[in-house]
Amino acid sequence: MRLSYAQKLSLVAAVPLILAVAAIALLVAGQSRALAEREIQALESQLIEAKKRELRNYVTQARNGFYFIYGSAAPNDQAAKDQVAQILSAMIYGDEGFFFVYDYDGTNLVNPRQTGMINRNHMDLTDSDGTPVVARLIEIARQGDGYLTHLWPKPSSGQEAEMITYVTSFPSWRWAVGTGVFIDDVLTSVAEARADVETRVQRTFYYISGITLAALLMVFGSGMALNIRERRLADAKLKKLTQRVFDAQEEERGRVARELHDGISQILVGVRYALDSARRRLDKGSGDPTTPLTQGIENLGTAISEVRRISRDLRPGALDDLGLGPALKALVEDFAARTGVETEFNTVVFRNRLDQDAKTALYRIAQEALTNIERHAAASHVSVDIRGHKRGATLRISDNGVGVDQTLSRRSSGIGLRNMQERVEQLDGALRILSGAGPAGGTVIEATVPLTHLLPPEATTTKKERVRA
């Protein structure tokens, strides 16, 4: 499938926009997720720390409540132990909270919400993740106190849930005393926060996608409007150009017709009369037919010269055979001979390296300029200069006539100047028309073709192309 110019232009405008928006969306999503994750982790840490402080306070309050018993009891005072165990068994809170006691051997002594575990050894008890819960709690208690995160069956449902336990020790009794709190509410809050972040990220994607879609619609709409406008302008310009081509063709045809009618036709009529006169003299046998024959031969020579001139104006052979310089020199000399205007032709010595399009364009510009000078400028001196330089080649035609403004006022159509402009534009060159403002008037026309229309030196090795420009 081949894309049209408008489709290519739309793609050139849309693809970078899509890529840029996609990169921005990914960057925004990544940064949003990273920032939200840090905030969620900070929130989770704060909630867990709050839970830990709460557990420590529970144990400290409980210890303060029966420390008067423990502090004065002997290591083997069973009555004191039973009294403290009774107090701890009564200290339940919330829906799931309770205190527990294990001796250092792993036997459960207090567990008011899971009484089936009392007086049984649980040293080898592990949760579903393989954590030896009781053994780790006793190890932490032996070291003084501390926290342990593990899985534990909830008393209300029997389902395992994540729990944080704080445990301390009664070293003289060899007890590990503690309590725990389930943190499923914390995990639920964190999960809700993550879900909210994901929802906001998705919403941001939707916003960016909507903005991108609107921007793409604007790009495509603007592209379509611009394409339609440019196409209309191009169509209008093409119509005008076509009309100018037709006008130029008709003007050229009219000029050729006038020259054929006023020049060659009249000359040939004279030749015919001379031949008829010679024939009548021969038929009658009276008079010398040499005079009319001589006149006819002269007129026929004039007709041949006129045909050659018209042919040269239509397509000069010197331009193809000798190059631009000799063709321009012949054009200037013919102009001087025809009009009597003082002319000057200058050129520098450089290889004739202009391509065919540039040579033809510069020759036609010079031809059009000299025609305008002959018809409208009323000039007494004309200078034509052609030279190559490091930027390309420049043709300069100047006169001391009435100026281009008065010329344009006499020529309502301005086809000649437009033709010159269009020929230079076809070569990506530049055309300058300078009209003098002083009483002497005068006009300068400069046509420059770029370096891209100069052939490389190796392309000018033929004999025909070695003639000086």
Q: Match 């070695």 to its residue by tokens.
A: 466
Tell me: pLDDT of 268 over 50: yes
Whichever domain contains 424, its CATH number is 3.30.565.10
- Considering the domain boundaries, does residue 353 fall inside one? yes
The mean per-residue pLDDT over the stretch 391-418 comes to: 71
Q: Match 């389930």 to its residue by tokens.
A: 182
- Considering the domain boundaries, does residue 309 fall inside one? no
> What pLDDT sits at residue 292?
75
> What pLDDT sits at residue 410?
43
Which residues does 225 contact at the CB level (< 8 Å), separation at least 6? none
Whichever domain contains 129, its CATH number is 3.30.450.20
Give the pLDDT band (50/70/90) at residue 312.
Answer: low
**Domain count across the chain:** 2
Angle (CA) 209-215-218 rounded to 5° is 145
- Considering the domain boundaries, does residue 217 fall inside one? no
pLDDT, tens only, 365-387:
988 889 888 888 888 999 999 98
Asked whether residue 10 falls in the same domain as residue 151, the answer is: yes
What does residue 105 show for φ and ψ, rounded to 5 degrees? -85, -10
> What pLDDT sits at residue 315?
66
Number of residues in the chain: 469
Give the residue, 447 or 195, on which the prediction is more confident: 447
pLDDT, tens only, 440-468:
568 899 999 887 766 665 544 444 444 34
> What pLDDT sits at residue 438?
43
For residues 151 and 130, is the Cβ–Cβ distance under 8 A?
no
For residues 385 and 410, is the Cβ–Cβ distance under 8 A?
no
260-296: b (≥16 Cβ within 10 Å) or e: eeebbeebbebbeebbebbeebeeeeeeebeebbebb
Percent of the chain with pLDDT over 90: 16
Domain that residue 362 falls in: 316-466
- Considering the domain boundaries, does residue 271 fall inside one? no
Single out the residue of 119, 75, 109 nearest to residue 89, CA to CA.
109
Give the 3-state secondary structure of residue 251. helix
Which residues does 167 contact at the CB level (< 8 Å), separation at least 6? 137, 140, 141, 145, 146, 147, 148, 176, 177, 178
> What pLDDT sits at residue 456?
62
Q: Which of 173, 188, 203 is the last residue of a domain?
A: 188
Rounded CA separation 381/74 (Å):
138
- Considering the domain boundaries, does residue 295 fall inside one? no
Task: Name the most confidently modeled range: 124-128, 187-191, 438-442.
Answer: 124-128
pLDDT, tens only, 15-55:
777 788 778 878 887 887 787 778 778 877 888 888 888 88
The mean per-residue pLDDT over the stretch 408-429 comes to: 70
> What pLDDT sits at residue 344?
92
Lowest mean pLDDT of 69-73, 121-125, 341-345, name the range.
Answer: 69-73
Lowest mean pLDDT of 102-116, 129-143, 276-290, name the range.
Answer: 276-290
Give the residue, 303 or 59, on which the prediction is more confident: 59
Q: Which of 162, 188, 214 is the last residue of a domain?
A: 188
The mean per-residue pLDDT over the stretch 154-183 comes to: 89
- Considering the domain boundaries, does residue 263 fall inside one? no
Give the residue, 407 or 185, on which the prediction is more confident: 185
> What pLDDT sits at residue 5?
62
Q: Which of 155, 188, 221 is the last residue of a domain?
A: 188
How, if at all, do strands 443-450 and 381-389 pair?
unpaired
**Mean pLDDT over the full length of the chain:** 80
- Considering the domain boundaries, does residue 204 fall inside one? no
- Considering the domain boundaries, does residue 376 fall inside one? yes
> What pLDDT sits at residue 3?
65
